[in-house]
């Protein structure tokens, strides 16, 4: 247990569906992250939030929409995805105060887009 | 550049030492991390080292950093079958202010009984 939970753990959706991924951290951290892990590429950063403000968007298509209502919760809203978006989506958190900033990861949501 | 490279696969016998290697290209001040990923799971932090250090030891794990060659290694002593997993090297850059980690593609460690 890393203190970062993600739901659902598995998700199958059609290209016209709308779904949301949820991440919650119980570590008192202020920074949260979404990463994408696919078979063909190394782990890719998608978004970074620090104190609820988005600080990085790594050229992610608009069909992925993040939301960070508070420092403990992070969502990834999915809309009209493509089959190539099938991947493991990992959430992470860190203290958010600069310096070493060790990131702690959740177990991931494995997404399959049909 | 921010490329991090690792060999894809390593096979060892139980009880032997494993050495997983990583090279990086950015020479700015940085933290370097090793994460472990077991099947169906997220990434578990194993250890990290700051770029002004040469070595860090934590129980069965030894991290060696050759800053001149931009080479990082993770040595696992007395490797067990439970160590079978994918090991990721990652770095972060203090001078850019970016919080994100840059990951290598991962090394799959297979431990044979």
Q: Identify the segments of chain A with pLDDT beneath 70.
A: 1, 98-100
Nearest C-alpha of chain A: how many angstroms from B91? 10
Answer whether A45 sits within 8 Å of B101, measured CB to CB. Answer: yes
**Interval A35-61: pLDDT, tens:** 999 987 888 999 999 888 898 888 899
Whether cis (ω within 30° of 0) applies to the bond prior to A78 is no
Q: Any CB–CB contact under 8 A between A33 and chain B? A: yes
Q: Name which of B41, B44, B104 is nearest A42 (Cβ-Cβ).
A: B104
Answer whether B101 sits within 8 Å of A100, measured CB to CB. Answer: no
Q: Name which of B45, B99, B103 is nearest A42 (Cβ-Cβ).
A: B103
**Interval B45-81: pLDDT, tens:** 999 998 888 999 999 999 999 988 999 999 999 999 9
Task: Look at A58 and B99; give whichever has higher pLDDT.
Answer: A58
């Amino acid at each position: 247990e890393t203190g970062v939970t993600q739901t659902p753990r598995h998700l199958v959706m059609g290209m016209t569906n709308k779904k949301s991924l949820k991440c919650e951290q119980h570590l008192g951290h202020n920074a949260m992250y979404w990463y994408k892990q696919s078979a063909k590429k190394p782990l890719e950063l998608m978004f970074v939030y620090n104190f609820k403000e988005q600080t990085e968007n790594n050229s992610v298509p608009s069909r992925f929409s993040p939301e960070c209502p508070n420092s403990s919760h992070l969502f990834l809203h999915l809309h009209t995805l493509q089959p190539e978006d099938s991947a493991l989506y990992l959430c992470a958190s860190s203290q958010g105060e600069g310096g070493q900033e060790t990131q702690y990861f959740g177990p991931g949501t494995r997404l399959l887009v049909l | 550049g921010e490329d991090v490279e690792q060999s894809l696969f390593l096979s060892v016998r139980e009880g032997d030492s494993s050495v997983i290697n990583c090279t990086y290209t950015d020479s700015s001040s940085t933290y370097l991390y090793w994460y472990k990923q077991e099947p169906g799971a997220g990434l578990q932090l194993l250890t990290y080292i700051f770029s002004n250090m040469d070595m860090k030891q934590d129980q069965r794990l030894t991290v060696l950093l050759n800053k001149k060659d931009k080479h990082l290694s993770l040595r696992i002593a007395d490797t067990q079958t439970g160590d079978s997993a994918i090991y990721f090297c990652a770095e972060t850059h203090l001078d850019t202010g970016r919080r994100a980690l840059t990951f290598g593609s991962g090394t799959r460690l297979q431990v044979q009984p």
